[in-house]
Amino acid sequence: MEKKRVLIIYATYGSGHKTVANYIYNYFNEKGKYEVKVMDIMDYGNIIGNISKKVFEQNFKHRSSLVFTTLYKIFDRKSTTVGYKSATRALFHNKKLKEDIVSYNPDLIIASHFFGTTIGGIYNKKGLINSKIISIITDFKSHELWIKDINYMDALIVSNDIVKKELVLKNGIDKRKIYSFGIPISESFSLTSDKEKIKNKYKVNNGKLTFLFFAGGSMGSSFTYEYLKKVLECRYDVNIIFVCGKNERLKEKVNYLVLQEGYKNVMVLGFSNEVNNLLNICDVVITKPGGISVTECLEMKKPMLLIQGNGGQEIYNARFVCFNGYGINCRRPKKLVWAMNKIIHNRNVLDNMNNKLSKYDANKSLEKLYKLSESLMR
């Protein structure tokens, strides 16, 4: 019997949408029940799409959060999304895209970016394919662009019940279509591993607090250098693991700083496939409030110090973390130093955050998503 086909569509605006898509792909693929394919829709975008992607990447690397937040707010209105479908058609008016999706003829499309939902919905409407569509909001706040095509969706996955309630009450969406499964992340974040072995690998001193500092997703953001520099100047008696991602210039700069100033107990890493292991051995995570990063920390119950991100949806992600007592918002380097001081010199601060996190329920989102997918394809 021929396997049913699942198409997972993401867009490389940052690394989060791709990360979620890959987590879903790996989970479904390991089950072996369906034929699964993953697609970056930006591979099919025209020159305007490529320019917008480059603008986003530069904003990410150099922290032009005001620009991004302004655009985020402008497009979070029904009045400014009126021409969205037409714009998306123009952006992805690509013969190869149509050929690839139509020839694959998916029984189910899972979209970790709203572009995937729109394209799948348009092709369904034209009768080119006949696919069920699941859309996933990868942050802790809904946005007009995510729900613009709600009529195209068979299911909408959100991070929690608060977002679901907002969509029902504020936007009038049928609650039966919304599933508060949480943002899908790898099951590796809920598995236990040998802490001592990992600590030895990364030369972590057992008698000290360990701060894991992410420079902003897989791309690595240069502005985090100023945060790290301020922290290192304090010469805290702690372990610091700084993960630069794929930003080689940042890695060289940080390595030079550590060597020149003779800082101790600082480990500088590039891109890592062992984020779950690094989270396992740390006491506190310093990160920008990306939806995936926050979810991974929540799953492993790690307190967060949130540095300034891209603005937009990350403002709301940070509010969710701080409101629930899972972390502290540190928008400026001086605030990060202040927060670290509090944690280092008053263990009650860390204990309080750990206590709040202990009550956070693991979402098992991938398992729930898989079961929902099965039911939609029956």
- Residue 180 CB contacts under 8 Å (≥ 6 apart), including other chains: 158, 159, 160, 161, 163, 164
Tell me: the pLDDT tens digits for 150-187? 899 999 999 999 999 999 998 899 999 999 999 999 98
Domain that holds residue 108: 5-183+363-376
Let me know whether 79 and 169 are in one domain. Answer: yes
Tell me: the pLDDT tens digits for 94-103? 889 999 999 9
Strands 239-243 and 266-269: parallel
In sequence order, the β-bridge partners of residue 284 are 211
Whose CA is closest to 307, among 326, 292, 323, 327? 327
pLDDT value of residue 193: 75
Let me know whether 208 and 332 are in one domain. Answer: yes
Let me know whether 219 and 294 are in one domain. Answer: yes
Mean pLDDT of 280-303: 95
Let me know whether 175 and 206 are in one domain. Answer: no
Let me know whether 147 and 289 are in one domain. Answer: no
pLDDT value of residue 72: 53
Let me know whether 126 and 176 are in one domain. Answer: yes
User: Count of alpha carbons within 13 Å of 41, Cβ hemisphere only?
Assistant: 28
CB-CB contact of 293 with 272 (8 Å):
no
Let me know whether 19 and 163 are in one domain. Answer: yes
**Residues of the chain with pLDDT > 70: what percent?**
84
Let me know whether 116 and 224 are in one domain. Answer: no
pLDDT band at 269 (very low <50, low <70, confident <90, very high): very high
Tell me: the pLDDT tens digits for 78-132? 655 555 556 666 666 788 999 999 999 999 999 999 999 999 999 999 999 999 9
- 3-class SS at 40? strand
pLDDT band at 238 (very low <50, low <70, confident <90, very high): very high
In the chain, the number of structural domains is 2
pLDDT value of residue 373: 98
User: Pseudo-torsion of CA 347, 349, 354, 359, nearest 10°?
Assistant: 140
How much is the pTM? 0.89
Tell me: the pLDDT tens digits for 191-212? 777 888 999 888 888 889 999 9
Let me know whether 116 and 193 are in one domain. Answer: no
**Residues of the chain with pLDDT > 90: what percent?**
64
pLDDT value of residue 82: 52
Which CATH number belongs to the domain containing residue 82 in this structure? 3.40.50.2000
pLDDT value of residue 70: 60
Let me know whether 194 and 163 are in one domain. Answer: no
Let me know whether 196 and 169 are in one domain. Answer: no
Let me know whether 35 and 146 are in one domain. Answer: yes
